[in-house]
């Protein structure tokens, strides 16, 4: 946790700190990976916030011809002040471009409900493939951070790729989030 404190001569102590807001919070995802009951926890939504990059979420495949989508969210339980988001996507040795192509086109939303349309989009991917260790400034107040990705029917392009998809873009996609770290700003003001 990074902390900054200032003591002002007028008798005010002002402290500001960043902390991982997503740690041990409630999560959910759409299009769960098809699993047998004994293996379902292996790809559960909460794996993205357990601070272990060896455990990841996994969704069923979304495909362009079907025009399908997936989402994942973290619920802080109350509205928080958000500063930036870091996502580590699943990496397979020798398959970095394929993995980057799977995650391409995703968006991040801040919302006070589980519906992304009730909030606002603070990030949209494009026009190049995203890195597997991704971070972005995403400033606002929200109860939920929502990861959203979709594949549009053939001949249509995602907004961030309106001029066409780059080499490596995957028309079918599996979402595997290994770590989602939502950093928020805590402020403490003490008058003395």
Each residue's pLDDT tens digit, 97-133: 999 999 999 999 999 999 999 999 999 999 999 999 9
pLDDT value of residue 64: 84
**Are the CB atoms for 43 and 89 separated by under 8 Å?**
no
**Are the CB atoms for 105 and 126 separated by under 8 Å?**
yes
How many Å apart are CA 17 and CA 183, to the nearest integer?
10
Tens of pLDDT along 40-57?
677 889 999 999 999 999
Tens of pLDDT along 66-109?
789 999 999 999 999 999 999 999 999 999 999 999 999 999 99
Please, what is the Cα angle at 106 between 74 and 174, to 5 degrees?
A: 85
DSSP the chain: -EEEEEEETTTEEEEEEEEETTTT-EEEESSBPP--GGGGGGG-GGGGGSS-TTS---B--EEGGGT-EEEEEEEEEEEEEEEEEEEEE---TT-HHHHHHHHTT-EEEEESSS-GGGSEEEEE--SSPPPSEEEEEEEEEEEEEEEEEE-PPTT---GGGTT-PPTT--SEE---EEEEEEEEEEEEEEE-
pLDDT value of residue 170: 93
Tracing tokens 């601070």 back to the chain, one arrives at 51
DSSP 34-87: P--GGGGGGG-GGGGGSS-TTS---B--EEGGGT-EEEEEEEEEEEEEEEEEEE
Tens of pLDDT along 143-184?
999 999 999 988 889 999 988 899 999 999 889 999 999 999
CATH class given for the domain over 18-191 = mainly beta
Tracing tokens 């996994």 back to the chain, one arrives at 58
How many Å apart are CA 73 and CA 76, to the nearest integer?
10
Q: pTM for the whole thing?
A: 0.86
């Amino acid at each position: 946790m990074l902390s900054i404190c200032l003591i002002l001569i007028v008798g005010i102590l002002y402290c500001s700190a960043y902390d991982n807001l997503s740690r041990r919070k409630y999560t959910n995802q759409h299009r769960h990976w098809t699993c047998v009951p004994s293996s379902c926890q292996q790809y559960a939504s909460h794996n993205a916030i357990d601070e272990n990059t060896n455990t990841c979420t996994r969704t069923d495949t979304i495909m362009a011809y079907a025009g399908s989508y997936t989402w994942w969210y973290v619920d802080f339980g109350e509205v928080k002040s958000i500063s930036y988001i870091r996502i580590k996507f699943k990496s397979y040795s020798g398959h970095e471009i394929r993995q980057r192509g799977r995650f391409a086109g995703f968006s991040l939303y801040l919302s006070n409900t589980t519906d992304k349309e009730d909030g606002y989009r603070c990030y949209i991917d494009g026009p190049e493939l995203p890195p597997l260790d991704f971070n972005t400034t995403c400033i606002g107040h929200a109860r939920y951070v929502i990861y959203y990705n979709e594949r549009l029917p053939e001949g249509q392009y995602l907004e961030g790729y309106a001029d066409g998809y780059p080499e490596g873009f995957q028309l079918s996609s599996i979402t595997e989030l290994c770590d989602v770290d939502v950093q928020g700003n805590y402020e403490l003001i003490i008058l003395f």
